[in-house]
Structure 1
Amino acid sequence: MGFMATAESYLIAIGTKKGLWLAKSPDRKEWSLSGPYFLMSEIPSIGIDTREGKTRIMVGVRSEHWGPTVAHSDDLGVSWTEPEQGAIKFPDGSDAALERVWQIYPDSESRPGVVWAGCEPISVWKSTDGGEHFELNRGLWDHPHRNEWGAGYGGAAAHSIVVDPSGKKVHVAMSTGGVYRSLDGGASWEPRNKGISAYFMPDPNPEFGQCVHKIAADAAVEDRLYAQNHHGVYRTDDGGENWDSIADGLPADFGFVMLTHPRREGTAWVVPLKADGERIPPDSKLSVHRTDDAGGTWKELHTGLPDHEYNAVLRDAASVDTAEPAGVYFGTRGGSVYASADEGETFTEVASHLPDVLCVRGAVVFGNTAGAGNPLAAAEATLVAETEQFVEAAAQTRDPGTEDQTPVPG
């Protein structure tokens, strides 16, 4: 269950339709799984903030009873905190209520404490206190296009937020609405979708209205971004002014995932799906595809993945870490989670039979807040102790006269 303490450890946070699980490893070879946390609540978004030598896990929690909010843990899941009035709340008079938190995005090292959130209804929010309280971005919320944005198959989502190193240039992608760009830190926004197809609309090349599934920035080339569209994989080298197809060489141009390397130029990963009504891996063979030349060519990565898989990988159910080499992680709607410590060349299954996986985040974490020992081991020990207490309490309240009775299905 536990493992030896090291200078750094590895964490995968797994958000599902019925709670959160945490997988931990000292070496990205052997993983231990703990959870569930927030059982029976949907976890559609996770952000892991490792700035300033600390680790904060933030999760978008959506309870059918209590509604949506953002909770955070500073001790790797041992305890969780959420503001009494909710982390994200629409201002009075806005005639809107939060439905779901789709994205949690910690900003750069140079802006500690700044965390962005993308939500449903389509909106962007900004926190300056590490994700504890968020303020609505009025520039996007008051945009004249907002009433014409629609809902994708999963809902109306502001699901991608990319902030450049200066903090002035911000890109947001939404389903449906397309890509919008701000050059003033979020004060004003303009659509930037030229070249991205919207074949399902009367005008297949509109100014906005595209169903962009995910965008990600190249870590080493300024103004280069990649997009996975509802049919179409694209790249821009001018900050979204023009998008060009890079789908040649892929078995399908549909999918949800778009990941980029944390350091290296031109490296990105996608998980193709056969569209449109089937949404399964092509030929039912689950593979990740990687480009190392900005979409000029693609390499299929399948070692360790199943030859027969009929479940999709959703847009935020995939992640990369910052290790060397970079780790690649993803989960399926069938509840399997896979990890690669070599940039996708080989995968191992970390978890199986979980609920529908909605969000996966991998990170390198350092021992800092959970006591003198390894923080992940401390979190695991606490969970085990709590479970033992629960079992003991249940045993004390059990009716001894029912020990031999067969349970009746409810």
Structure 2
Amino acid sequence: MSTGPFEGAEQLWSVCYDRGRVLAGSKPAYLYESVDCGASWRRLEALTDQPGADHWMPGAAGLTLHSILADQKGGIWVGISAAGVFESRDGGMSWIMRNRRGNRPGPAGALARDWGDGVEFRAEDEIFSCVHNLAFGAAEGLIYMQNHQGVYRSRDGGAVWEEVTEGLPSTFGFPVAAHPTKPGVFWVFPLNGDSEGRYPVGARALVWKTEDGGETWAGKGAGLPERDCFFTVLRQGMASCEGGVAFGTNSGSVFLSKDEGETWEEVARHLPTVLSVEFMG
């Protein structure tokens, strides 16, 4: 265990800016904040003090708080493997588990068009609690998730999740990246499964893109290796910006698309394992 400013943490897994402070997530699953640009840190105890936290089960990498989203209005969402998604609306003072699955009535076209219009969901059960990554979509309350067992979206801030895995070559993967201004556009990188090697399906590198919020999918591989791809893209290994998408691999390559994932080029190679990719500016 560390004895530094991150009391109780073995490793740091995520950071996020939130209204003048920095949030950090760790293994084990603690949430920390700094209000002085990282000079000092304190643990936000409310997350792990909530009822049931002592029964959270670790994922393969341990009990990790690997994803943090902040809407800059007091809303915070965290992803913990393998406990699930948790939401706070008061800056981290209190939390609600957000693992509810639902179906939304109506045709698929309405699903793709009507973001956050208040139509009621029918709750069925809980999603599998091993969330792998979260990303804000470009609409109020819209969040995309890559889960251990599928891809999901929520249009009400995580209160209910809809599965949108159909059309993808597998249910398993780690990263998700969303377009900053187009609500229905996001990307995932499916892998061949939990116990099959965790490399691209068919050993061919494809980034899967949707333009209608997950209703339909297309594999995009122009410029990517077409065979013998046995690498993994880790949970923070893909990022997006206006017009651009990039991902890094555990074999040390970084691939960049300047046209929203339609074509790709390798911009770095022979790096150490790429744990995280970010765009600056």
Task: Look up the match of 2:107.
Answer: none
Work out which of the residue numbers 183, 191, 197 in structure 1 matches 2:89.
183
* 1:143 counterpart (43, 50, 64): 50
1:176-218 CA-to-partner distances (Å, cap 9, x unmatched) read: 100111122211111110118xxxxxxx9558x7101011111
Please say if 1:348 is aligned against 2:247: no
Are the aligned partners of 1:320 and 1:363 in contact in 2 as well (CA < 8 Å)? no
Q: What SS does structure 2 have at the residue aligned with 1:283?
A: helix
Partner SS state of residue 140, structure 1: helix
What residue number does 1:241 align with?
Answer: 159
What letter is aligned with 1:181? E
Name the CA distance, whole Å, in 2 between partners of 1:143 and 1:357.
Answer: 34
1:31 matched residue in structure 2: none
Distance in structure 2 (CA, Å) of the matches to 1:132 and 1:306: 43
Q: Which one of the candidate residues 105, 113, 116 is aligned to 2:23?
A: 116
What does 1:8-407 align with in structure 2 at a 5 Å threshold? 86=4, 88-90=5-7, 97-107=8-18, 111=19, 113-167=20-74, 169-195=75-101, 205-206=125-126, 210-219=129-138, 221-278=139-196, 279-308=198-227, 309-321=229-241, 324-325=242-243, 327-364=244-281
Cα separation, 2, equivalents of 1:134 and 1:318: 27
* Aligned-partner Cα distance in 1 for 2:62–2:276: 15
Deviations 1:206-253 (A, max 9, x none): 58x71010111112x111111110011111111222111111111112
Q: Which amino acid is the alignment partner of residue 259 of structure 1?
A: A
Cα shift readout 1:271-291 (whole Å, capped 9, x = no counterpart): 001112121111111111111
User: Using the alignment, how far apart are the partners of 2:62 and 2:238 within structure 1?
Assistant: 19
The structure with the larger Rg is 1
Aligned residue pairs total 258
- SS in structure 2 at match of 1:104: strand
Query: 3-state SS of the aligned residue for 1:257?
Result: strand
Question: C-alpha separation between the residues in 1 aligned to 2:180 and 2:40?
Answer: 27
> What does residue 394 of structure 1 align with?
none
Letter of the 2:167 counterpart: G
RMSD: 2.0
Secondary structure of the equivalent of 1:179?
strand
Runs of 4+ in 1 over 6 A off after TM superposition: none
The Cα shift of 1:114 comes to 1.6
Specify the alignment match of 1:402 in structure 2: none
TM-score normalized by the length of structure 1? 0.60
TM-score norm. by structure 2 comes to 0.86
How far apart are 1:134 and its partner, in Å? 2.2
SS in 2 for 1:141: helix
Higher relative contact order at CA 8 Å, sep ≥6: structure 1 or structure 2? 1
